[in-house]
Each structure stands twice: as C-alpha cells, then as structure tokens.
Amino acid sequence: MENKVPKKGNKSGGAAVAEAAASRKRKSPKDEKDPNAPKRPLTSFFLYSNDERQKLRESNPQLKNTDIAKELGKAWNSLKPDLKQKYENMAKKAKETYEKEKAAYEKKQPKGDSKAAKAKPPTATTKKAKVAKQAPVQVVEDDDEDVDEEEEDEESD
C-alpha cells in the first residue's frame, strides 16, 4: 500500500480555508425600506401575466407554477404587437404615476434622511481593512522528506 505524503506548502487540515469561507458568509445588514414609500410599478409583462395567469390555470389545472410561468413567457413572446402595446402603455402610465408619487414622497422626507446621507464614508472597518487586520495564517510545512528518505533506505536493505 502506497503512503501519500502531503506536498510542501499545503495548509494543514484546511483550517485556513474554513476561516476564509466563514468570513465570506457574513453580510452587512440591509437598510430597512420605508413601508410608506411608494412601490415600484409592474412591468408590461407582469401586467399581462396577471391578466392571463388565471385563464391559463383554469384551462390547465395540472400545470405547476413554474410551468405556468414558462407558458406565460412563451405567450408573451408570441403576442401580437398591438396587444403587447396595450400592456406597454399600461406599464408606462403606471411608471409615470409611480414617479409622481415618489417625488411627492421624497419632498415629505427630511433632507438628511436620504440614502446618500445614510451611506457611511469609507473607514478602516471595510472588508479589506478587516482582512488585513486579521492575524496572518500560519502555514505549517510538512517535514516528511526525512521520512521518505528513511523509507527508501529501509527498502534498499
């Protein structure tokens, strides 16, 4: 049976790899959305989907939601331009309404409450700085070359 010897420079036990993976999992907390803020409008495809989904579900009750979505996508792509234009106009009107509501909402908000004001300036607590501050990973080199030479000496005897 052949003994496998780890190559020089390998990190022992994968501890450094595990540490690196654990540090990648951390995420910064998301900014909470204001529940009073206007919601973004639906696109033309979603307006079409809302109209057609129930019809498709009634005519094909065995279809799963994913299959219904696929069928709606195929139907949207093959839709006549005049019908598609109807939904695009609806989406355009919804977007204009949204932009008006958003402008009115932003006027009501205090000036220091914008996202730009909330953004933190770059500091030493950024991810790169944190990685640089961490203790360096110690690489343990295997001194198994001596063992290999001893085994070769034993085999030659």
Report pLDDT digits (tens) over 86-143. 999 999 999 999 999 999 999 988 876 555 445 455 555 555 555 555 555 565 565 5
pTM metric for this prediction: 0.52
Report pLDDT digits (tens) over 16-56. 556 655 556 666 677 788 888 999 999 999 999 999 999 99
What's the burial of 48, exposed, middle or buried (CB within 10 Å: 0-12/13-18/19+)? buried
In CATH, the architecture of 39-108 is: Orthogonal Bundle (1.10)
Q: Give the pair of three-digit tokens for residue 49.
A: 């989907």
Please give the backbone phi and psi of residue 35, each rounded to the nearest 5 degrees, phi first.
-65, -15
Rounded average pLDDT over 51-72:
94
CB 72 within 8 A of CB 56: yes
Rounded Cα distance, 104 and 55, in Å: 37
DSSP characters for 90-143? HHHHHHHHHHHHHHHHHHHS-GGGSHHHHSPPP-TTSHHHHHHHSPPPPPPPP-
More confident residue, 33 or 10: 33
Rounded Cα distance, 94 and 46, in Å: 12
Residue that is written with structure tokens 């696929």 in the block: 70
Q: Which residues contact 94 (CB under 8 A, 6 or more apart)?
A: 41, 42, 47
Q: Give the pair of three-digit tokens for residue 140.
A: 């343990």
DSSP secondary structure code for residue 79 in this structure? S
Rounded average pLDDT over 7-23:
58
Q: Which helix (H) or strand (E) holds 57?
A: helix 44-59
